[in-house]
Structure 1
Amino acid sequence: MKEKSTLYIVIPCYNEEAVLPETNPMFLGELHELMEKGLVSEDSRIMYVNDGSKDRTWELIEEYSKNPHIVGISQSRNRGHQSTVLAGMMEAKESADIIITIDCDGQDDINCMNDMVQAYQNGAEVVYGVRKKRTTDTFFKRFTAEGFYHVMEKLGVEIIFNHADYRLMSKKALDAMAEFTEVNLFLRGLVPLVGFNYAIVEYDRFERIAGESHYPLKKMLGLAFDGITSLSIKPIRLITSLGILTSLVSFLFIIWSLVSHFIGNTVSGWSSTVTIVAFIGGIQLVSIGIIGEYIGKIYLETKHRPRYIIDKRTSDED
């Protein structure tokens, strides 16, 4: 059993002025409950991380930070959900023994934090929050989301099925995470690479309390593609296999054409030619596009740009 630890609840925020007034009391109540039970120390905090919001999100965070158990940091511009979560993790680890990352929309069951902290006290360095089921999702979202996890597993990516970004990490795990310097972030795939003992806490997910989702289909597809190309080279190997298979088929077609020519069974026409050219051309364009994605990521990684830049801290104004 580990001694009482300092917990930071890291909450990324982007244009959340509609939902924060509803969820802030919930997070604060859960933190006080954990402290009253003696599971975490009185130095524990909620850390809101503003991702360049264009509404009153930062003003609300500043207001809430008058409470000694709430702090806030703000990025210099919008950098995306994954960079915002990472910023909170790296900033919080300087003061915390453990951190829990959770979205601010109220969909993830905050009552699971109790089980997460207890799992940490029992020896887990990482605790993953995993959805029991997806009954609140539409059929399309459920089908595509679960299909994504299966595809990632087939491509050799270590990933926890139905886990998003609701997790607990110890300072030991965070220090190891800091050694990963990728600019292209997919935390669901990076955290399992850290290793160490881990546990899983299952929970039911709820409807968003207020406001609109900031992860439409386009962003979800972008995150999925980033995850695949950042953590697996199997797509390139699949291109190689497809190229070999196409070459074999083309070679057989050449043999068939020569045989047909010598037995005098050829008929001039353009349909078959156009079909074959279009087929080969399509494969080439898709292959070049996938390879281009990898080259683009190499280009971004070689620049070593900062993954986040903190512009404001509520503590700076206290």
Structure 2
Amino acid sequence: MNNQTSGDSALQIMRTVPSLTIVVPCYNEAEVFIYCVDALNKIVTDLVLRKKIEKNSRILFVDDGSKDNTWLQITEAAKKLDYVQGLKLSRNRGHQTALIAGLSVVDTDVCISIDADLQDDIKCIEQMIDKYMLGNDIVYGVRNDRSKDSFFKRNTANIFYGSMSAMGVNQIENHADYRLLSKRALAALLEFKEQNLYIRGLIPLLGFNSDKVFYTREERVAGESKYPLKKMLGLAIEGVTSLTVTPLRLICALGFLTCFFSFLAIIYILVAKFTGQVIEGWTSVIISIFFLSGVQLLSLGVIGEYVGKIYLETKQRPKFFIDEQTTD
């Protein structure tokens, strides 16, 4: 999706070399951190030397309450490397909250979010900067090849994106949280105050000029994935319930269908009774009870998910607390 307009040429003329913050959420990334900080530091150093970004650019690692020595490694790197800074949350709050915590302290012209596992192609950072200079406030990193994924993961991802689209959720297919945001796009994103965050679904709602860069995702350099099946399902449910009320409407439609078929069944039973064709037995009754009970429990579960979100939103609790922060 490219929303560039005729005004982009003017933006391109007005834009100067930007300062950049790369925001990297980390949770128990001790095994991969040394590779991540080295790779990102080289990228930033190179871009500064070639005057693609300003010297006051930085790499901000956000420790999401890690239980290993990730924070220790971040503080050591911050002492040795000019571009590295660290932010430590008081406890584990989840990837999306850690990301928004890092974004909330960014004060540079642009920011790029990327995971610490180095699966996203860091060479795209320069391409994102180039597209920003062309007048784009948002640049999405999009996977163009899922051949390395398992059959299950590839097909469930396709089902998820298809389902979200069918429910009216506008999100970029095969895009996770690898993206560039300009200062005004970031300011707009931070205007969203909800507790239940699904950032990749909120970004398209901003409406600013956008473009994409395409890449192939690699295997983790080290460590284990922090997104097993359970967390992926949780993120999918978060996305659906945070951005659309379609499931509630489906429940309503299901209720109408159930009532309609029940009405037909009542007519059939009455006709059978008055014509003397009643067949005694309990099978149909038991099936009906189990079916309707299942529908009711499923409906209550979906409604409960939405009610739970309303409960959390009305409390307006802080999303996170910052425990420590490295100094410049």
Band the TM-score falls in, shorter-chain normalisation: over 0.9
Paired position in structure 2 for 1:295: 307
**For each residue in 1:174-194, what CA deviation from the matched residue of structure 2 results, as whole angstroms up to 9, or x when unmatched?**
111111001000001011111
Matches within 5 A, 1:228-307: 228-307=240-319
**Matches of 1:123 and 1:309, distance apart in 2:** 35
| Corresponding letter in the other structure for 1:202 | F
CA shift for structure 1 position 149:
1.0
Q: Could you report, residue by residue, the CA deviation over 1:213-238 in whole angstroms, capped at 9, with x for unpaired residues?
A: 01100000000001000100000000
Residues 34-54 of structure 1 deviation map (CA, whole Å, 9 limit, x = unaligned):
112211100000000000000
Task: Tell me by how many angstroms 1:147 deviates.
Answer: 1.3
Amino acid at match of 1:91: V
| Counterpart secondary structure, 1:201 | strand
- d(CA) in 2 for partners of 1:4 and 1:263? 86
Match of 1:116 in 2: 128
2:97 aligned with 1:83, yes or no? yes
User: Is residue 46 from structure 1 mapped to residue 74 from structure 2 by the alignment?
Assistant: no
Distance 1:306 1:133 in 2: 38
Kindly provide the amino acid, as one letter, of the partner of residue 128 in structure 1.
Y
- 1:14 is matched with 27
Q: Secondary structure at the match of 2:30?
A: coil
- 2:82 equivalent among 50, 61, 68: 68
**1:189 correspondence with 2:211:** no
Determine what percentage of the aligned residue pairs are the same residue: 50
RMSD across aligned positions (CA): 0.8
Cα distance between partner residues in 2 of 1:195 and 1:39 = 26
Query: In structure 1, how many angstroms separate the alpha carbons of the residues matched to 2:124 and 2:217?
Result: 11
Partner of 2:18: 5
TM-score (norm 2): 0.95
Listed as ranges, the matches of 1:104-143 within 5 Å are: 104-143=116-155
Taking the aligned partners of 2:97 and 2:89, their CA distance within structure 1 comes to 10
Q: What is the distance in 2 between the residues matched to 1:33 and 1:143? A: 38
| Distance in 1 between residues matched to 2:113 and 2:101, nearest whole Å | 11
Letter in 1 for 2:174: N
1:178 and 2:185 are equivalent in the alignment: no
Segments of 5+ residues of structure 1 without an aligned counterpart are: none
Alignment partners' CA distance in 2, 1:198 and 1:307: 28
Equivalent position of 1:168 in the other structure: 180
> 1:101 and 1:250 mapped to 2: Cα distance?
52
Q: Which amino acid aligns with 1:28?
A: N
1:144: Cα distance to partner?
Answer: 0.8
Displacement over 6 Å in runs of 4+: none
| Structure 1 residue 146, shift from structure 2 partner | 1.8
- Deviation of 1:130 (Å): 0.1
5+ residue gaps in structure 2? Answer: 1-11
The DSSP-based 3-state class of the residue aligned with 1:199 is: strand
CA offsets 1:12-38 (integer angstroms, 9 cap, x no match): 000000001112110001111111221
Aligned length: 314
Tell me what 1:25 maps to: 38
Q: Displacement, 1:273?
A: 0.2
Secondary structure of the 1:71 match is strand
The aligned residue for residue 202 of structure 1 is 214
Secondary structure of 2:119's counterpart equals coil
Structure 2 residue identity aligned to 1:49:
V
Residue of structure 2 in register with 1:151 after alignment: 163
| Correspondence for 1:56 among 61, 69, 74 | 69
Instruction: For 1:293, give the aligned amino acid.
Output: E
**CA offset at residue 102 of structure 1?**
0.1
CA distance in 2, matches of 1:33, 1:258: 82
Matches of 1:136 and 1:62, distance apart in 2: 34
Distance 2:224 2:147 in 1: 19
